[in-house]
Homo-oligomer: A and B are copies of this chain.
């Protein structure tokens, strides 16, 4: 079994270990919930204060031009693009994930007017299910949304399927799907593919270009550390730009926004998917949060992520044999950057851990969920977290814990 001294050694030779210093973390806490909300980095605070005091404070309305606010959604999008394997000009940052999904779902159904089915995973995050049904109801023709088991998606593919919407890494189990394999099958059926990358971006290597994905979107507040309710990101493959229409158009997506034209004419490229001015302060936070990626490659992050999750699984099994069901796949090719443990008392266990300074979260009905974020987590953190879990499981307090982190945002 890996010993604490081994973890210390692993940390000592970890090339990205110094990045931890960029983040605000509480002493005596082990934060295993960066898959819900990433922590603040120094650059976030600096960039936000630069916007408030300088760009907005001194520049006032001139900031729209002089500080490049007009281009900020696409500029920050371009910074984010390499993390998902997109090209410059294919990513936009704005709004929230649900609105961006709405834009794609509405636009994609317009592109496939001869088809009337949307396939999606019943285990999707519920917002995705609500918005796909809502946009389907407004498609101008009858659309059937089939929210089914992931394993049944493939057998349901046929020439009536307009769009398939799947989440790449499951928010409960942490299971990762085959981006390229599934996209290829969806294309073979003549359907369009929309990926929700909320639990993937910044967590696992992504190659939307190589997978030939049509559309993708994700949020900025998990592994990208952009802050609570951070603007989300949208990817539209270059070949769809100009064809896919934004069903929620606004003046900032107009070809000539300052000509105040009565009729909407979309701007070129990703700008057409901007609706109205997103919060520049919020964009600045995400912009700052992306700085850390200048110093870490996704390959480094992935390698460490797998080491961290392997270690966690190994230690949980060694120290607490048979106590938990390990829900997250062992197969690296199917694992995101979190580990989900199943236990009937998961809710109380998460509470008891919280009281001991280990922050994970609970997901209905019986999942204890732990995110492993290589930018700021150490191997010793994993070791210590498991030791505390062992200690918690020795007592009885977890059986009657009070409500608390249940309401943590996924």
Contact = CB atoms under 8 A, between A and B. Distances in A.
Interface stretch (A129-137, A312-320, A328-336, A387-395): A129-137
A147 interface: yes
Given A126-B260, A147-B262, A361 B61 contact: yes
B276 A97 contact: yes
Interface stretch (A32-40, A156-164, A299-307): A32-40
A197 interface: no
Contacts of A62: 359, 405, 408
A65 B26 contact: no
B277 A229 contact: yes
A151 interface: no
> Which of A31, A57, A230 counts the most B-chain CB atoms under 10 A from its CB?
A57
Contact of A138 (B58, B138, B283): B138
Given A65-B404, A260-B364, A227 B131 contact: no
B33 A61 contact: yes
How many copies of this protein are present in the complex? Answer: 2
A228 B45 contact: no
A399 to B, nearest CB: 21
A279 to B, nearest CB: 4
A334 B163 CA distance: 51
B64 A40 contact: no
Contacts of A53: 24, 40, 45
A409 B247 contact: no
Nearest to A362: B258
Contacts of A131: 248-250, 275
A52 B44 contact: yes
A107 to B, nearest CB: 11
Contacts of A228: 56, 63-64, 69, 277, 279-281
Given A53-B40, A57-B39, A227 B260 contact: no
Interface in A10-45: 24, 26, 31, 33, 36-37, 39-40, 44-45
Contacts of A48: 48, 52, 281
A293 interface: no
A296 interface: no
A64 B97 CA distance: 18
A347 to B, nearest CB: 11
Contacts of A230: 279
Nearest to A230: B279
Interface in A56-77: 56-58, 60-65, 69-70
A378 interface: no
A294 interface: no
Contacts of A126: 251, 254, 260-262, 264
Contacts of A406: 258
Interface stretch (A82-90, A98-106, A176-184): A98-106
A87 to B, nearest CB: 26
A125 B227 contact: no
A322 interface: no
A278 interface: yes
Contacts of A69: 228-229
B260 A363 contact: yes
Interface in A259-279: 259-262, 264, 275-279
Contacts of A364: 258-260
Kindly list the 10 A-B residue pairs having the minimum CB-CB distance in the complex, ordered from nearest: A279-B282, A138-B138, A229-B277, A228-B280, A127-B251, A98-B250, A229-B279, A98-B276, A37-B61, A96-B276
Given A147-B262, A230-B279, A279-B281, 7 more contacts: A45-B53, A49-B49, A98-B251, A98-B275, A129-B264, A138-B138, A259-B364
